[in-house]
Structure 1
Amino acid sequence: MSPSEAPTTDLEVHPSKIKLYGTNGVQCRIHAISEHLMDALYSESVVAKVWNIASKAVSSSKPPILYPEYTDEDGIYVYRTLDFWTSGFFPGSMYLLLERFTRHPQITHRSGQTKDTLTPWPHRLQLEYLCRWWTTNLHANALKRDTHDLGFMIAPWATKSWELHRDPAAYNSLVMAAHSLASRFNTTTQCLRSWDVCITNRYSFTDPSQDFLVIIDNMLNLDLLFWAARETSNKGLFDVAMMHARTTQKHHIRDDHSTFHVVNFDSENGGVKAKFTNQGFSDSSCWARGQAWGILGFMQTFEWTKEISFLVTARDLADYFIAHLPEDGVPYWDFTAPITEVSPRDTSAAVVAACGMLLLYKALKGSPDGDVYLFKAMKLVDCTASKFLNSPTSRFEKVTSASKVPVYPSGCIDGHEGDGFSSMTVVDKSGSKIGESILGGATINNYEFAPRRWSNHGLVYADYYFLLFGNMLLELGLAKLDDAKPGKKVDSVR
């Protein structure tokens, strides 16, 4: 079924109720994930792409200090230094795969191959080692007090390291990062400062004493504060996160439920000096990824606080997002920008929003209200993968060392006597340009006055949230091996 043939839905929006209708006015429910979406989320190629980057550091004498951010015209990752705000996402992707290997090992062998023909994957302990290797130098970022992005820099990998291994260093870094982030809170503005400075070809904010800049993205960093507040029984951290969320709720959201990207507060009286964009089309437009940050951020806040107003806000933002999707289901970089043949999409906005919609389903589970968000979340990722999934032809291949080793007694290892040690490599069977990222079609910044504009590329956090979406489905019990056996009929969400 093509995206244009997908079941249409009409949403009757009310603060307390959403009704879902099928094409004939019949309510529909999602019972299984399409085979296409299962293949996209859990294929060997997805793991191989991450492993291909991660394994480059295996032979290094020192742990990495450079981390992939976006891909160039040839599909090759461009790297940034470890203190850049995106540094935590690639290790976070590695930890998401480690979580699958650890908690859902059956999902890694769903290709229908027999036991005898199944391609060997890297051992879980190899991946665990690389996870630790890639994060060794990132602990130092927890001390940074010049950025709001500590949630992005620390939480994607450190939270999983603590959950899976009870790693004390990860725990300490999470707590330290939370306190570093909280140091940016201002009691007058009732929120955390996002940027100290902001310079474009249109405006320049260089004096933090005059301007207090807050961006919608900052909602995603509250999760770190809530986590540390629970773990250390620190009510102060909880209160900071709550106050920031309420301030964002009050000032970043328009009456039509679209969002402003940046709000500049007066730090002396808490008043609003200006509302504008740094990455969208215009000050009055709706930047797609900013809208997505809002959906996921307010849902995370609701999960911690159970305050209904945050749930309602997230639903309002999600409904706007859904209503402004194009026919093929993949958002353009800005919902209200003029559309031309060269208008860029943003797959990162799609997968971030989809994760937020899954949390909406979780909160409203068992009701038609929840079903609509589950349907829309899976359709959103399915359409995104259909259009922008890079060639899923990367595979693991065993490479046996050329050196032989004597084995005693002879024949004790069937078929491997004297073969030495083997390693894993990643190969591509398509013969075409591989593309190191899982997804293409992302847009970092297409703002007219940005110092530099990026679009139509792979992006490390698009891949991270794509993988996170897959793990969330597993956690919710929505992605099961039995539902994905070849030949088994499932409901399509495309």
Structure 2
Amino acid sequence: MRNMLIVFTCYVLGLSGTVAFAQTKHALHLDQSFIEDRLQQSAKQIKLLAAATPADKFPQNFEQGKHKFSNSSWWCSGFYPGTLLLLSEATGDAELKQLGLDKLKHLEKEQYNKRTHDLGFMLFCSFGNALRITGDSASYKPILVNGAESLASRYSPVTKTIRSWDHGKWKYPVIIDNMMNLEFLEEMSKQTGNRKYADIARSHANTTLKHHFRKDYSSYHVIDYDPETGAVLGRKTHQGTADESAWARGQAWALYGYTMMYRETKDKAYLKQAQRIAQYILHHPNLPSDLVPVWDFDYDKIPEGSKMYGKRTLRDASAGALMASALLELADYSRGKQGEFYFRQAETLLKNLSSAPYFASYGSNGGFILQHSVGALPINSEVDVPLSYADYYYIEALLRYQRLLAGKKMIQS
């Protein structure tokens, strides 16, 4: 079986010549000491962020030498406690585990929040990891079930999608980011035995596959539906350079989302879509040699004189971190040279994100781990700053690789 092949491999980064067993079909080229060092340095760094974070707040970014914090209703609130918990799992650091669990009490009320689609990010990245790591079903499962109900309340059987936003000029907007919330529903379907959650996840994924992608398998950011008929009213962007551009993090959300949906369903249509998205990203002529993408793949089409022109080549480490984590997983579902290519690209991304200029030196960057992410350049929001979700998916990717080095399954349930 694909994920059960044990490979004896020698690591050749030139650090220690470590020999290990890995539960993957791919030889591992990143050295164990390299991975462990990045995890330990990340744990040390995030404790500085923890010391600066008010008890009832969540880190949002660090800009011009100042922290910005959010309350629990911000869509990113689950990433910081989730990162603490992932790092505690990777390093065995009990202090990080407690810091992560303590933060959850300030996030609990979002289980009843029906005004946002981002509950996968907010609750599954935090309480989901807490449940998996601690096994404390009594404390965390009810919160997750309530959260899944809140998320499911935003599903429309007419559009066959989960509504993303309740604001703006759109009638029924669905953004590609929404693919990331489907893992939450899939897991809660397994946890509760309630097929409703999985049915919603698959319906949303199928509708998104039908309407969100261009012929080259790049993704639009926003699809606006008619809530009365389900017809597509428009294909737009909010965070990309133009409606027809390929916003980098949007492509990464899509890659991760369809890879995950294949894992959950074994539906080959999802695998094929993930592979097509990967091909688009990895063979794009504007992908830099270090594989950390510019914030929009079509940055070169921004006209001189545009307010974005001077910042058009900024990198987005958050998209790179997402890509690294997704490609590690996609590689194990893909055959032959294709799977090998994905795995090597993931290793390259991990290596580069783990170095300057992306990996912050200790004491810098406000305690965030990665530098140089872009939130939404068109509205000049969070431009070239550290972001909590960049850290989360970077640590997730490192942890996945660490598990392979230890001969374990990459994805832990």
Q: Sort the TM-score into its range (normalised by shorter chain).
A: 0.7 to 0.9
Identify the range of structure 1 (156-165 vs 185-194) with the bigger mean alpha-carbon deviation.
156-165
Distance (Å, rounded) in 1 between the aligned partners of 2:152 and 2:70: 25
Out of 154, 161, 186, which is 2:130 matched to?
A: 161
Q: Is the 8 A contact 1:96 1:471 kept in 2?
A: yes
Q: Which residue number in structure 1 is paired with residue 358 of structure 2?
A: 389
Matched, 1:177 2:177: no
Distance (Å, rounded) in 2 between the aligned partners of 1:479 and 1:47: 23
Matched, 1:380 2:349: yes
Out of 31, 56, 67, which is 1:65 matched to?
A: 56
* Shift of residue 280, structure 1, vs aligned partner: 0.3
Q: Is the 8 A contact 1:148 1:221 kept in 2?
A: yes
* Shift of residue 81, structure 1, vs aligned partner: 1.0
Distance (Å, rounded) in 2 between the aligned partners of 1:298 and 1:390: 28
Q: Which amino acid aligns with 1:463?
A: D
Q: For 1:297-446, what aligned pairs fall within 5 Å after superposition?
A: 297-324=257-284, 325-338=287-300, 342=311, 343-364=313-334, 367-392=336-361, 394=362, 428=363, 433=364, 435-446=366-377
Residues 1:137 and 1:31: Cα distance change in structure 2 (over 3 Å)? closer
Find the residue that maps to 1:443 and give its secondary structure: strand
Find the residue that maps to 1:454 and give its secondary structure: strand
1:150-205 per-residue CA deviation (whole Å, 9 max, x = no partner) reads: 0000011211211121222211111111111011010010111011112xxxxx34
Out of 39, 49, 53, which is 1:53 matched to?
A: 49
1:107-129 per-residue CA deviation (whole Å, 9 max, x = no partner) reads: xxxxxxxxxxxxxxxxx433332
Gaps of 5+ in 2: 1-25, 302-308, 409-413
| Pairs aligned (count) | 373
Distance (Å, rounded) in 1 between the aligned partners of 2:365 and 2:373: 17
Matched, 1:136 2:105: yes
Residues 1:196 and 1:187: Cα distance change in structure 2 (over 3 Å)? same
Residues 1:235 and 1:128: Cα distance change in structure 2 (over 3 Å)? same
Out of 209, 215, 225, which is 1:255 matched to?
A: 215
Distance (Å, rounded) in 1 between the aligned partners of 2:365 and 2:205: 41
Find the residue that maps to 2:108 and give its secondary structure: helix
Q: Which residue number in structure 2 is paired with residue 148 of structure 1?
A: 117
Q: Which residue number in structure 2 is paired with residue 86 of structure 1?
A: 76
Q: Which amino acid aligns with 1:147?
A: T
Residues 1:389 and 1:345: Cα distance change in structure 2 (over 3 Å)? closer
1:222-278 per-residue CA deviation (whole Å, 9 max, x = no partner) reads: 000000101111111111100000000001111001000000000111100000000
Residues 1:35 and 1:126: Cα distance change in structure 2 (over 3 Å)? closer
1:42-81 per-residue CA deviation (whole Å, 9 max, x = no partner) reads: 2x32111111222456xx8xxx32111111022x431111
Distance (Å, rounded) in 2 between the aligned partners of 1:478 and 1:379: 20
Gaps of 5+ in 1: 1-28, 103-123, 199-203, 206-210, 395-427, 481-494
Distance (Å, rounded) in 2 between the aligned partners of 1:125 and 1:40: 18
Distance (Å, rounded) in 1 between the aligned partners of 2:212 and 2:128: 28
Distance (Å, rounded) in 1 between the aligned partners of 2:99 and 2:310: 42
Distance (Å, rounded) in 1 between the aligned partners of 2:229 and 2:344: 44
Q: Is the 8 A contact 1:30 1:371 kept in 2?
A: no
- What's the Cα RMSD here? 2.2
Residues 1:374 and 1:390: Cα distance change in structure 2 (over 3 Å)? closer
* Shift of residue 478, structure 1, vs aligned partner: 6.8
Q: Which amino acid aligns with 2:368?
A: S
Residues 1:434 and 1:137: Cα distance change in structure 2 (over 3 Å)? closer
Distance (Å, rounded) in 1 between the aligned partners of 2:382 and 2:352: 22
Q: Which amino acid aligns with 1:437?
A: F
* Shift of residue 477, structure 1, vs aligned partner: 3.3
Matched, 1:453 2:403: no
Q: Which amino acid aligns with 2:50?
A: A
Q: Which amino acid aligns with 1:382?
A: K
Residues 1:189 and 1:326: Cα distance change in structure 2 (over 3 Å)? same
* Shift of residue 37, structure 1, vs aligned partner: 5.3
Q: Is the 8 A contact 2:352 2:358 kept in 1?
A: no
Identify the range of structure 1 (377-386 vs 250-259) with the bigger mean alpha-carbon deviation.
377-386
Residues 1:479 and 1:284: Cα distance change in structure 2 (over 3 Å)? farther
Q: Which residue number in structure 2 is paired with residue 98 of structure 1?
A: 88
Find the residue that maps to 1:444 and give its secondary structure: strand
Q: For 1:119-134, what aligned pairs fall within 5 Å after superposition?
A: 124-134=93-103
* Shift of residue 436, structure 1, vs aligned partner: 2.0
* Shift of residue 36, structure 1, vs aligned partner: 8.9
- Greater Rg over alpha carbons, structure: 1
Q: Which residue number in structure 2 is paired with residue 475 of structure 1?
A: 403
Distance (Å, rounded) in 1 between the aligned partners of 2:209 and 2:315: 26
Structure-2-length-normalised TM-score: 0.85
* Shift of residue 30, structure 1, vs aligned partner: 4.1
Find the residue that maps to 1:473 and give its secondary structure: helix
* Shift of residue 32, structure 1, vs aligned partner: 2.2
**Higher relative contact order (Cα pairs below 8 Å, separated by 6+ residues):** 1
1:2-50 per-residue CA deviation (whole Å, 9 max, x = no partner) reads: xxxxxxxxxxxxxxxxxxxxxxxxxxx64320579536632x3211111
Distance (Å, rounded) in 2 between the aligned partners of 1:470 and 1:327: 21
Q: Which residue number in structure 1 is paired with residue 11 of structure 2?
A: none
Q: For 1:185-224, what aligned pairs fall within 5 Å after superposition?
A: 185-198=155-168, 204-205=169-170, 211-224=171-184
Q: Which amino acid aligns with 1:136?
A: K
Q: Which residue number in structure 1 is paired with residue 394 of structure 2?
A: 466
State the percentage of identical aligned residues. Answer: 31
Find the residue that maps to 1:223 and give its secondary structure: helix
Find the residue that maps to 2:234 and give its secondary structure: strand
